[in-house]
Copies of this chain bind each other. A is one copy, B any other.
Amino acid sequence: MISDQKIFNHESELKLQSGATLGPITLAYETYGSLNPARTNAILICHAWSGDAHLAGASSTGESRPGWWEEAVGPGKAFDTDKYFVVCSNVLGGCNGSTGPASVNPATGKPYALSFPIVTIADMVDAQALLSDHLGIVYWLCVAGGSMGGMQALQWSVSYPKRLRSAIVLASTARLSAQTIALNEVPRQAIYADPNWRKGEYYEGARPDSGLAVARMIGHITFLSDASMREKFGRRMRINTHYGYTFESEFEVETYLTYRGNQFTKRFDANSFLYLSKAMDYFDLSYGLPSLADAFRKTTAKFLVMSYTSDWLYPSAQSKELVRALLQNDIDATYVEINSDYGHDAFLLEVDRLAELARDFLKRV
């Protein structure tokens, strides 16, 4: 399977939820499989915080990096590219081909940095709707995603109820909890504390890599679970069998976190990281409404909602709250809680169960 990364340019301005405007905008996207003549087989997959448009497959440019959901997208897989036309775009505010704080502001000829407006999940979805128009897709058979991707799927069902037939929402929530806001705020503070951050104006100098690495390390802890970390690392030491009694990293789990934190700085922009965290913090489908159920008054899509027992970042209780709100609107919603030790990462890893469930669900849509 070969995937081409394409760029969608929207020349006019987008009105944002905050009231600000942004434009022109660019979205990087990839497509897999073929759109059928009736244009009824299109599936939009939305990525999570650190994801991008490269969902699966070898790139035609020869790049061999696997996609972030390689296991779930392809011929015969959960999202079967022999049957469906699958699209994935990098979110607005991102740093992998879409307009974000690292992009050049045409008004100044310099990167936006913190002059980039705050974008929300609804703004990301509005940008995706423009891409859908561009691709000639009147409605999506399904919009699917985990974590922040699930928020986008939910937002689609609220912002464009007639433009999707179904949504698959994994390890996600209809509104960020206090704990998750807290777990976004600390990484932000870690970036702010890096003197190289310079209030976001670092594009011409040293980057706030130390702050971003610490930020990402916090993320990695929240993606795993106590059980998966015990299984994966336990108290195993990297080299020695006896304690060295130093501040050097000795336990495998320390080395893992430091490595992942440092690797992340090579592929992600610290300002983008900040903007996406704020987009999630502001995500609350009940914002300004009497109840969460009121958010779905116009929603007609069928839902498959999945959560994972060891996911403490978006615990099952939040999926159950979402499903209750859907059912209060007589929406056809299936909820499955998967027993898994993988924590939040389970939505990326427990693909066999997802494949079974998604196949049956999409057949029903």
Q: Which residues does A use to contact B, with CB under 8 Å?
A: 17-20, 114, 117-118, 120, 175-179, 181-183, 185-186, 188-190, 192-195, 210-211, 213-214, 217-218, 220-221, 224-226, 229-230, 232-235, 243, 245-247, 249, 251, 253-254, 257-258, 261, 274, 278, 281-282, 284, 287, 312, 315, 317
| Candidates B18, B211, B221, B232; contact of A183 at CB < 8 Å | B221
Residue contact A245 to B315, C-beta cutoff 8 Å: no
Residue contact B178 to A193, C-beta cutoff 8 Å: no
Contacts of A229 in B (CB 8 A): 177-179, 182
Name the distance in Å between A186's Cβ and chain B's nearest Cβ.
5
Nearest residue, chain B, Cβ from A236: B178
Nearest residue, chain B, Cβ from A287: B243
Name the distance in Å between A232's Cβ and chain B's nearest Cβ.
7
A226 to B282, CA, bound (A): 18
Contacts of A185 in B (CB 8 A): 217, 249, 251, 253-254, 257-258
- 14 additional A-B pairs beyond A19-B245, A193-B194, beta carbons within 8 Å, are A18-B243, A176-B235, A177-B229, A177-B235, A178-B229, A178-B235, A178-B251, A179-B226, A179-B229, A185-B253, A185-B254, A189-B213, A193-B210, A195-B195
* Known pairs A193-B193, A211-B193, A257-B182; A20 contacts B226 (CB<8 A): no
* Known pairs A190-B214, A195-B195, A287-B243; A230 contacts B178 (CB<8 A): yes
The 4 closest A-B pairs by CB, nearest first: A18-B245, A193-B210, A178-B229, A118-B245
Residue contact A253 to B178, C-beta cutoff 8 Å: yes
Nearest residue, chain B, Cβ from A186: B217
Nearest residue, chain B, Cβ from A241: B288
Residue contact B274 to A247, C-beta cutoff 8 Å: yes
Contacts of A20 in B (CB 8 A): 245
Residue contact B186 to A226, C-beta cutoff 8 Å: no
A-B contact pairs, 29 of them (CB 8 A): A17-B245, A18-B245, A19-B245, A118-B246, A120-B245, A177-B229, A177-B235, A178-B229, A178-B234, A179-B226, A181-B254, A182-B253, A182-B257, A185-B249, A185-B257, A185-B258, A189-B213, A189-B217, A189-B257, A189-B261, A193-B210, A193-B211, A226-B315, A226-B317, A245-B282, A247-B274, A247-B278, A251-B281, A312-B312
Residue contact A178 to B245, C-beta cutoff 8 Å: no
Name the distance in Å between A127's Cβ and chain B's nearest Cβ.
17
Contacts of A118 in B (CB 8 A): 245-247
* Known pairs A118-B246, A278-B247; A233 contacts B190 (CB<8 A): no
A185 to B261, CA, bound (A): 12
Residue contact A230 to B181, C-beta cutoff 8 Å: no
Contacts of A281 in B (CB 8 A): 251
Name the distance in Å between A108's Cβ and chain B's nearest Cβ.
20
A274 to B248, CA, bound (A): 12
Most buried by B among A18, A235, A282, A317: A235
A249 to B218, CA, bound (A): 19
